[in-house]
């Protein structure tokens, strides 16, 4: 935590009549982390042994060998370097790209040009570091392209064109996307639509990298298996189905990644070890019924390539499912909805105050917001809205009684203790007791003392310019006309709260 005053920053004032410009400069006098120690910062995630992804023969299951090559298209050079070095240690050759142009160049050269090129020879030299492999192995190789969402230009529609560009490589490589926690669901569904089903959130921990590789290898093995005559294909896998999505939930893994060290099962190629349940979760694996599992197959990438035992076939989809759901419920009922749940939490973590007097609208909006992950407090008039805001400012949660206009202290709505501050207010304009305009004025007045500015979105039944002017005048940040377009509401909320994330 940098304390500007202590660290020797300074402020300059440039006076210009009634205008003042403030300059802030901050010097960080921290000692920094020794480069030798960079890797150890991530040590807790290094426990995993990637040797199973080395894909040597002799696994005993008659499955074909897949060699993996990884192209890291990530923003941060340190992250790329570390990941690259680590993958080399584990026997996976890598390429790097730092931005979109580099990525497309590399892809073009790698897949479109004929004959060996610089990139291939680079990779070849990497491969030669690993005994036992030869250049011709590339033919049966699986290319994995790990792309950070930051390489796409999401501020315009260019990103869709960028995805189109990547489409041409769809058959030649598997893409895995590193998303931001607030990456919109429309981006995610577009990715999914184009067959990109591997997605994880930043940061790219080693454990996530392992899981990506395992998923890719399992898929590839399944594809090869179907080509090979060895295994009977009685499995019900749905590989590469664009309707499916493998979203690796960080909350599932981060806590457990250090426990993933026991990748054991040497005989189990591309073992589901990355998708192993820790013992404490094992009780839950028994809960879901088989009929739910079959339904779930439509939503989840099934990674079961072991057809030899029926019970194993049942067990593994269950374990994949457990990992993919967000909240591992005790009952099995939510298990098949992993896709939709993770897709819809676009407002996850936001606390919204909804001031709306029409009960149906209050209910619809609350339900809708909660379903996309927001926490909602609903009040029925402007006065309650102001009080709710006041209450949320107090850490102890004690609500001061506010005198109403006629002098009596009004009863504030009972709010939970320690209510966290709101991120945004949805304010109906026409409400009894105190309408939205008045409430907003009051809120801005209170804020002028503290210096905060909570985003306020007006909900108005009128769409006239005079209403818009009125909204702006009292200090609202945006408005939505009724009846509410919910998608517009979500995107408005996101754009007003995004800078906070």
Partner 1 sequence: MEVSEMQRQFVEYSQSLFREGYLDSQFTQLQQLQDESNPDFVMEVVTLFFEDSERLIRDLTCALDQQIVDFKTVDAHVHQLKGSSSSIGAQRVKNACVEFRNFCEEQNADACRACLQQVNQEYFLVKSKLQTLFTMEQQIVAAGGSIPIMD
DSSP states along 363-399? HHHHHHHHHTT-EEEEESSHHHHHHHHHHHH-TT-PP
Among 484, 491, 494, 496, binds partner 1 (CB under 8 A): 484
Which residue number, 315 or 345, has a Cβ lying nearer to partner 1? 345
Q: What is the rounded distance in angstroms from the CA atom of residue 183 to the CA atom of residue 319?
A: 27
Instruction: Report the nearest approach of partner 1 to the CB of residue 360 (Å).
Output: 4
Instruction: Report the nearest approach of partner 1 to the CB of residue 486 (Å).
Output: 6
The sign of the CA dihedral 390, 392, 398, 399 is: positive
Phi-psi region of 493 (alpha: psi -120 to 50; beta: other; left: phi over 0): alpha
Nearest residue to 144 (alpha-carbon basis) of 77, 231, 41, 217: 217
Among 483, 495, 500, 501, binds partner 1 (CB under 8 A): 483
For tokens 């709101």, name the residue. 422
Instruction: Report the nearest approach of partner 1 to the CB of residue 477 (Å).
Output: 22
Which residue number, 268 or 484, has a Cβ lying nearer to partner 1? 484
Q: Please check whether residue 241 is in contact with residue 299, taking contact to mean a CB–CB distance below 8 angstroms.
A: no
Which residue number, 391 or 427, has a Cβ lying nearer to partner 1? 427
Q: What is the rounded distance in angstroms from the CA atom of residue 216 to the CA atom of residue 50?
A: 14
Instruction: Report the nearest approach of partner 1 to the CB of residue 327 (Å).
Output: 12
Among 42, 130, 394, 486, binds partner 1 (CB under 8 A): 486
Which residue number, 224 or 494, has a Cβ lying nearer to partner 1? 494
Q: Please check whether residue 146 is in contact with residue 74, taking contact to mean a CB–CB distance below 8 angstroms.
A: yes
Which residue number, 154 or 494, has a Cβ lying nearer to partner 1? 494
Instruction: Report the nearest approach of partner 1 to the CB of residue 337 (Å).
Output: 4
Q: CA gyration radius for the chain?
A: 27
Omega of the bond leading into 483 within 30 degrees of 0 (cis): yes
Among 485, 495, 498, 501, binds partner 1 (CB under 8 A): 485
Instruction: Report the nearest approach of partner 1 to the CB of residue 356 (Å).
Output: 9
Which residue number, 62 or 432, has a Cβ lying nearer to partner 1? 432
Per DSSP, 403 falls in state B
Instruction: Report the nearest approach of partner 1 to the CB of residue 177 (Å).
Output: 23
Binding residues for partner 1, total number by CB under 8 A: 24
Which residue number, 203 or 373, has a Cβ lying nearer to partner 1? 373
Extract the tokens encoding 488. Answer: 């517009």
DSSP states along 300-355? S-------S-HHHHHHHHHHHHHHHSSS--SSSTTGGGHHHHHHH-TTTT-EEEEE
Instruction: Report the nearest approach of partner 1 to the CB of residue 466 (Å).
Output: 18
Which residue number, 152 or 369, has a Cβ lying nearer to partner 1? 369
Q: Which residues contact 168 (CB under 8 A, 6 or more apart)?
A: none
What residues between 330 and 389 interact with partner 1 by CB under 8 A? 334, 336-337, 340-341, 344, 357-361, 363-364, 367-368, 371
Judged by CB under 8 A, which stretch of 36-44, 86-94, 131-139, 482-490 contacts partner 1?
482-490
Instruction: Report the nearest approach of partner 1 to the CB of residue 368 (Å).
Output: 6
Which residue number, 333 or 495, has a Cβ lying nearer to partner 1? 333
Which residue number, 9 or 334, has a Cβ lying nearer to partner 1? 334
Residues linked to residue 71 through DSSP beta bridges, in sequence order: 95, 145
Instruction: Report the nearest approach of partner 1 to the CB of residue 87 (Å).
Output: 37
Instruction: Report the nearest approach of partner 1 to the CB of residue 339 (Å).
Output: 9
- Residues across the chain: 501
Nearest residue to 478 (alpha-carbon basis) of 466, 489, 462, 464: 489
What residues between 400 and 459 interact with partner 1 by CB under 8 A? 430, 432
What residues between 282 and 341 interact with partner 1 by CB under 8 A? 334, 336-337, 340-341
Residues linked to residue 377 through DSSP beta bridges, in sequence order: 353
Q: Which residues contact 124 (CB under 8 A, 6 or more apart)?
A: 116, 135, 138
Q: What is the rounded distance in angstroms from the CA atom of residue 376 to the CA atom of residue 366?
A: 6
Which residue number, 206 or 336, has a Cβ lying nearer to partner 1? 336
338 exposure class (CB count in 10 Å sphere: 0-12, 13-18, 19+): buried
Largest distance between two CA atoms of the chain: 88
Chain residues binding partner 1 by CB under 8 A are 334, 336-337, 340-341, 344, 357-361, 363-364, 367-368, 371, 430, 432, 461, 482-486
């Amino acid at each position: 935590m940098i304390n500007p005053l202590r660290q020797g920053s300074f402020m300059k004032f440039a006076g210009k009549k009634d205008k003042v410009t403030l300059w802030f400069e901050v010097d960080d006098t921290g000692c920094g982390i020794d480069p030798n120690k960079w890797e150890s910062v991530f040590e807790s995630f290094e426990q995993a042994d990637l040797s199973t992804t080395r894909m040597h023969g002799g696994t005993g299951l008659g499955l074909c060998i897949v060699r993996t090559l990884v192209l890291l298209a990530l923003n941060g050079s340190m992250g790329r370097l570390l990941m690259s070095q680590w993958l080399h240690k584990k026997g996976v050759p890598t390429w790097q790209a730092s931005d979109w142009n580099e990525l497309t160049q590399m892809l073009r050269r790698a897949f479109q040009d004929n004959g060996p090129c610089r990139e291939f020879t680079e990779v070849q030299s990497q491969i030669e570091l690993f005994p036992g492999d030869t250049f011709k192995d590339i033919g049966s190789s699986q290319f994995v392209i790990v792309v950070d969402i930051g390489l796409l230009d999401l501020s315009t529609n260019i990103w869709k064109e960028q995805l189109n560009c990547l489409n041409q490589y769809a058959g030649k490589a598997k893409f895995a996307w590193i998303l931001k926690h607030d990456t919109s669901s429309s981006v995610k569904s577009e990715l999914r639509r184009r067959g990109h089903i591997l997605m994880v959130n930043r940061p790219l921990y080693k454990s996530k990298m392992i899981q990506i590789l395992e998923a890719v290898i399992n898929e590839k093995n399944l594809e090869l298996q179907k080509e090979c005559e060895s295994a009977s294909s009685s499995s019900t896998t749905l590989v590469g189905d664009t309707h499916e999505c493998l979203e690796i939930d960080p909350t599932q893994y981060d806590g457990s990644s250090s426990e993933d060290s026991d990748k054991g099962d040497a005989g189990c190629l591309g073992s589901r070890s990355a998708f192993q349940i820790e013992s404490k979760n094992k009780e839950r694996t028994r809960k879901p019924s088989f009929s739910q599992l079959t339904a779930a197959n439509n939503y989840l990438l099934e990674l079961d390539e072991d057809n030899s035992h029926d019970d194993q076939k049942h067990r593994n989809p269950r374990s994949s499912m457990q990992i993919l759901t967000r909240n591992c419920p005790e009952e099995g009922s939510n298990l098949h909805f992993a896709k939709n749940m993770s897709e819809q939490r676009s407002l996850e973590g936001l606390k919204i105050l909804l001031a709306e007097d029409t009960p149906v609208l209050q209910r619809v909006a609350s339900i809708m917001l909660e379903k996309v992950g927001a926490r909602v407090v609903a009040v029925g008039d402007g006065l309650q809205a102001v009080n709710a805001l006041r209450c949320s400012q107090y850490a102890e949660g004690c609500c001061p009684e506010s005198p109403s206009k006629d002098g009596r202290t009004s009863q504030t709505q009972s709010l939970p203790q320690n209510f966290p501050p709101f991120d945004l207010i949805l304010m109906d304009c026409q409400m009894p007791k105190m309408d939205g305009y008045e409430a907003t004025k009051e809120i801005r007045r209170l804020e002028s003392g503290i210096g905060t500015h909570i985003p306020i979105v007006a909900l108005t039944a009128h769409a006239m310019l005079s209403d818009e002017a009125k909204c702006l005048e009292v200090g609202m940040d945006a408005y939505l006309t009724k009846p509410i377009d919910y998608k517009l509401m979500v995107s408005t909320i996101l754009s007003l709260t995004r800078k906070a994330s």
